[in-house]
Structure 1
Amino acid sequence: MTRWWETDETHDPALTSWVASAQGHGDFPIQNLPLGLFAPPGQEARIGVAIGDMILDLAACAHAGLLDEALVAPACATTVNALLALPSHQRRALRHRLSISLSTSHHRAQVEPHLHVAADCTLHVPARIGDYTDFYVGIHHANNVGRQFRPDNPLLPNYKYVPIGYHGRASSIRASGVPLRRPSGQRKAPQADAPTYGPTERLDYELELGVWVGPGNALGHPIPIAQAADHVAGFCLLNDWSARDFQAWEYQPLGPFLAKNFQSTISPWIVTAEAMAPFRLPQPARPDDDPAPLPYLHDADDQQHGALALTLEACLLTTKMRDAGEAPTRLSVGPATSMYWTIHQMIAHHTSNGCDLNPGDLLGTGTLSAPTRDGFGSMMELSVGGTAPITLPNGETRAFIADGDEIILRATASAPGRVAIGLGECRAMVMAS
C-alpha cells in the first residue's frame, strides 16, 4: 500500500497530456489534477478537474461510463464533499483513472467532449464547508505581530507547546474573484474614551495555506497523529481578511470575531494530498532550547515528511496600476516551511479532545511569513502596524489595504526532478463599504 509521502506513475515528470495547454502549465499540468466545482456558461455547477487551461467535467465522465462504479455517485454530487470523504486509496484510484484518460491518446475521443474552457466557466467554493478553523502556526508572523505589542516577549508561553487556533465563520468563505466589501464595526483609538462604529481603517490580508479535511472522525474519538494523513484530502490558498482596528478592540478576552468573520477568500481548486506527495520535506528542526512536542503531537514519519516544498507569494494591484495597464506588484514571497507545527499536528491537536472533523471542513494555517521582510505575509507586518507605510513601484504608499485594491495570492510546489504544480490564484478586490 502506498504511503502518503510516496510517489507513483501519476507523478512521472515525463508524463504528458494530449490536452495541449497542460504542457508547461504553471499550475495545472497532468501531474496535478485538482478537484473543483465549476459551472459552464448557462449551466448548473458540477464537479470538475483542472487540466491546463481546461476543465474536465467529472459528472459527464461518470455518466459516460469512464469511472469505476464506486466513484460514480461522488463524482455526480453537487459538491466535492463525497469525494473528500473517500478513503485515500479510492481518491488515489480516481487520480490514476484521470491520469490515464488524459495522457493516453486512445482515450481522447471518449474524454475530449467533456472538456470546457476554464476561462468561460464560473468557479465556486468546491465543498459545503461545515466548519472552519484558523490556526496560528506561522512562527515568524507570530513573532512579528507579537513584537508590536510585547517587544520583550513576543510569543506567549503556550505557543511552543500547543498549536494555537480559533473557530472561524464558514458561511462567509468565498471563492477567488468574489469582491470583498469593506466591513464596518467597532474600533477604539488608544487615547479615546469610547469606541466608535464605522468602516475599518486598517483592512489587512493574510497569506495562508488552507487544508481540506477528508474522512474525518466520530465525536469523542481523537485522530492519532500517526493516522492524521488519512484525514487530509487536499490544499488551497486562503486569504483570511482582517480588520486590524476591530481586532485590537474586540479580541480581549475571547479572540477574533467581527474582525475576521466578514469574508475569507480561497483559491477554488483542491490540490489533493496525493498530488503533493513529491513535494514533502522534513519538518525544520526546532531550536535546541525549544520544548519537544508532547507525545500525542509527535510522529517520526510526520517529522520526516510533514513539511511542504511550497513557495507562496502575495501581490497587490491598485486602481491606479489597473488603469495604467500595469502588472501587480509583489508584496512578499516565502516558503511554507515557516510553519512551526505540521498540518498533521494541527489535525491531531484539533481532535485531541474528541472534537469531530467532517469531510469538507477547512483549516487555515494562519499567516505564513518568512524570517525576512521580503517574505512577510500581511500588511500588519510590512508596515509595522501602520507606522511605516510601504512605497509601491508607481509611487503610491500603503499602510493597509485601500478600496479598489486587489490582493492576489499564488503558490507553487517544486522539487528537483519533478514537474512543478500550483494551487491556482486566490484573489479578491476590495469595494467601498
Structure 2
Amino acid sequence: MLKELSPRVQELRVELIEFMEQYIYPNESVFEKQLENGKSRWEVPPIVEELKQKAKEKGLWNLFIPKEYGYGAGLTNFEYAHLCEVMGRSLMAPEIFNCNAPDTGNMEVLIKYGTEEQKKKWLEPLLEGEIRSVFSMTEPDVASSDATNIQGEIIRDGDEYVINAKKWWSTAALDPRCKVAIVMGKSDPNEKKHLQQSMILVPFDTPGVEVKRPLSVFGYDHAPQGHAEVHYNNVRVPKENILLGEGRGFEIAQGRLGPGRIHHCMRAIGAAERALELLIDRANKREVFGSKMVDKDTVREQIARTRIEIEQARLLTLQAANTIDQEGTKAARKEIAMIKVVAPTISLNAIDRAMQVHGGGGFSQDFPLAEHWANARTLRVLDGPDEVHLRDIAKLEVRNQLNNH
C-alpha cells in the first residue's frame, strides 16, 4: 500500500517516523515525570508545548484534515491513515501533531457547519493548538449510543439559549487549556425523532458550567486532559452560538462520525504494531526452561497470529478510508462499522499477548502496554458499542443480498 502513496505523503510518513523515534518515545517518561512533579495532575507538562512547536516547525501539523476542507495538510483519508497509524504507537503523540480527539472532531464540525464568526473565535485557535475543546454528548442517565435518548435541554429564550444538561465522558474538560464545549441536547421534544436535537457552542468559562468530577479509565486519569462529568446549570449563551440551526444536532453528530470515526482504528493498529515489537524484543531477551522465549512454539504462534490480524485490520481500515474518499461517508457505512469492531479487538489481542510475554512487567508503568490496553478497551464503546455496529453490519448485509435477488 505504501507504493500507492504520493512522494509527498511517503516523505511525510518518513519524517513522522523519525520524529517519533527522536522526540516522542524518548520523552514519554519525561512527560510522566513532569506530570508527577507538577503542582497538579491537571497542569500541562512543559514537554508537550515544546514538542508541539517542533512538530509545527517541521510541518507535521493538522495532518488529519481532508483536502476538500482547505485547511491543514490537505490529505485524503487513505493517505492520512498511514500517518495516523504511526501516531497511534504512542498515547502522547496525537496531541503533539494537533491530531488528537476530541479536538479533531470538533474542528471538523466547525469547518463543516460553523459560521465565519464561530470559525474565527474557536476554529482558528484550535487549528493553532492554542486551546482545547470538549464534546459533551454522552449522559449518565440514558443509553447514549442512541443519540435520540439524549435528555439535556437547549431551549431558546429570546436572544439566548438556556442549557441544562448532565454530561459525562467529556474528554479534555479538566485540561486548563479547555476553552469551549460543543454540547448536544434537545431543543424541541415535540419534533420528529431525529429533529429534536441541537448542538451549541458553550464557552467553558460561562456561568453555570460545572466540572463535577474527573473520571478514570481502568484507574488511569489520562491527565492533564482527563475525562469529566460536567453539569450545565441554566447556562446562557447567545443565539448565535447554535450550530447549523435548531433541530440539526443529529445531522451534525452523523457528520462528525465520518472520517474521525476511523481515526481511532488507525491509531489502534499502530498500538498493535508497537505491542508486537515489544513482544518480540522481550521474548528475545528472556530465557526460560533452557531456551529463549522467542524460540518457544507457543510464543511463535502468538507472533504469527498477531501479524495476521494486524495485516487484516490494516487492509480493512484502508478500504474504509478509501471508500470515504471515493464515495462519501454514507457509502462507507458498512466498512466503517466493520473496522470499528475489528481494530480494537486485534489491538487488544496484540497488547494482551505482549503483556503475557512481559509477565509482571507488562502490567506495570515500566512499559506502555497496560495503558495502551486500557485505551484500546475503551474503543469498543467509544464511538458506539460493538453490538450497535454489528447490528448495522447485519442490517446492511441482509438488505444488500435481498436487493440483489
TM-score of the aligned structures, taking structure 1 as reference length: 0.26
Give the TM-score normalised by the residue count of structure 2: 0.27
Q: Which has the higher strand share?
A: 1
Compare relative contact order (CA 8 Å, sep 6+) and give the higher one, 1 or 2.
1
Higher-helix-fraction structure: 2
